[in-house]
């Protein structure tokens, strides 16, 4: 069965400093992995996705993530945090071979706080 583990429930950074949100996955086969962001009282927005193409995936708003099979990791990074990045971030794996009708399995989320 597929699963994801987000290693930090809370991360706090200063504006302008790098962001690292950690995610490890478990999958019986080559997974499809996603990062979603949720601002307070809002729906989820797709940041980026990995579907067995390039291992370094670039997303919106300057975020990127690197798929590392040897480490079963898919950490989310951004070189310089902005105040507007403060939100909840979810690492997600697709239950199945990445088909759109496969279920998404969510991590427990990481709350990112950005200090001025």
Can you give the binding site for other proteins, defined by CB under 8 A?
32, 34, 36, 41-46, 49, 51, 90, 98-101, 103-104, 106-109
In the beta sheet, which residues pair with residue 40? none
CB nearer to other proteins: pick between 9 and 84: 9
* Residue 51 beta carbon to other proteins: minimum distance, rounded to whole angstroms: 4
* Residue 83 beta carbon to other proteins: minimum distance, rounded to whole angstroms: 21
* Residue 18 beta carbon to other proteins: minimum distance, rounded to whole angstroms: 25
CB nearer to other proteins: pick between 18 and 113: 113
From the centroid of its chain, how far is CA 8? 12
Q: 17-39: string of b/e by CB count within 10 Å (b at 16+)? A: eebebbbbbebeeebbbbbbbee
CB nearer to other proteins: pick between 40 and 116: 40
Q: How far is CA 111 from CA 51, 85, 90, in A?
A: 25, 10, 9
């Amino acid at each position: 069965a597929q699963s994801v583990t987000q290693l930090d429930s809370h991360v706090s950074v200063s504006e302008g400093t790098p962001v690292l949100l950690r995610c490890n996955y478990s999958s019986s086969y080559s997974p499809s992995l996603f990062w979603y962001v949720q601002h307070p009282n809002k729906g989820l927005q797709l940041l980026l996705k990995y579907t067995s193409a390039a291992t370094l995936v670039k997303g919106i708003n300057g975020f990127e993530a690197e798929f590392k099979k040897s480490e079963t990791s898919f950490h989310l990074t951004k070189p310089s945090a902005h105040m507007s990045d403060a939100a909840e971030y979810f690492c997600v794996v697709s239950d199945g071979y990445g088909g759109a009708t496969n279920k998404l399995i969510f991590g427990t989320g990481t709350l990112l706080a950005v200090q001025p």
